[in-house]
């Protein structure tokens, strides 16, 4: 399996974001139901991370006065729940919504323990090994979104206005990297260094054919 290197390009003039959620006062809209994992439990709300494609990845969910809830159900971080919210969503980050019903789907899992002291276990053990590098690449105009649009893997996420998603692209060969830089330098300052941060085009020379035999690049 190839190791992964994540390159974070701090670039301006990214894709325009479109509206994806019902606005306050939209009385004709229907309630929204989705599956989520509870991340934090507060006195009058839950912070959840959604697992369904509902237009947002995190939400602060408060409780409506007439909310339906199993009396034997106590909120615990890590539980997977089915939440029904009113359609009026405040487009902050995370979005804010009011729940009219919350059902338990699966309970929180007990933390895994390692058989050997110091050995990793659980989700951390299954994550890919990766390196990360940061490069600044200011835009040279307003056409950069057109250059990126055909390369972005999470294109559908970019149309969600309530969450500022980072465009994700992958490069798996030296030829693809050279093409990316050659075409992109018309829109972004790939050849400009900033203080201690080297220019992206200069540093990219270290990613040769031998590198791509065992690695891939994720460009964010």
- DSSP string over 152-199: -TTGGGGG-TTS-PPP-EEE-SHHHHHHHHHHHTTTB-TT--BTTBPP
For 166-195, the pLDDT digits (tens) are 888 888 899 999 898 888 888 888 888 887
| pLDDT average, residue stretch 204-208 | 86
| pLDDT average, residue stretch 7-17 | 47
The domain total for the chain is: 2
Say whether both 74 and 9 belong to one domain: no
Q: Are 193 and 202 in contact (CB under 8 A)?
A: yes
* CA gap 143, 92 in Å, rounded: 28
194 φ, ψ to 5°? -135, 105
123 occurs within a structural domain: no
76 occurs within a structural domain: yes
Q: Is the pTM of this model over 0.95?
A: no
Residue 214: strand, helix, or coil: helix
Q: For the chain, what is the mean pLDDT?
A: 78
- Residue-level pLDDT at 213: 87
Residue 207: give the domain boundaries: 3-18+130-219
Say whether both 135 and 214 belong to one domain: yes
| pLDDT range class, residue 59, cuts 50, 70, 90 | very high
Highest mean pLDDT among 16-20, 124-128, 145-149, 159-163: 145-149
Q: Are 163 and 93 in contact (CB under 8 A)?
A: yes
């Amino acid at each position: 399996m190839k190791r992964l290197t994540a390159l974070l390009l701090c670039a301006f003039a990214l894709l325009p974001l479109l509206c994806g959620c019902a606005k306050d006062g939209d009385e004709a809209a229907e309630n929204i139901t989705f599956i989520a994992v509870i991340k934090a439990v507060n006195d009058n709300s839950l912070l959840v991370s959604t697992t369904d494609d509902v237009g947002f990845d995190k939400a602060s969910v408060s409780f409506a006065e007439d909310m339906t809830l199993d009396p034997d159900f106590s909120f615990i971080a890590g539980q997977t729940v089915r939440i029904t919210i009113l359609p009026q969503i405040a487009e902050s980050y995370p979005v804010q919504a009011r729940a009219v019903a919350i059902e338990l789907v699966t309970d929180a899992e007990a933390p895994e323990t390692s058989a050997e002291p110091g050995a990793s276990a659980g989700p951390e053990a299954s994550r890919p090994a990766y390196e990360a590098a940061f490069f600044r690449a200011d835009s040279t105009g307003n056409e950069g979104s057109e250059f990126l649009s055909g390369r972005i893997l999470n294109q559908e996420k970019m149309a969600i206005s309530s969450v500022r998603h980072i465009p994700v692209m992958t490069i798996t060969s030296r030829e693809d990297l050279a093409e990316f830089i050659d075409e992109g330098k018309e829109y972004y300052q790939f050849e400009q260094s900033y203080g201690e941060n080297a220019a992206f085009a200069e540093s990219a020379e270290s990613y040769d054919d031998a590198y791509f035999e065992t690695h891939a690049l994720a460009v964010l």
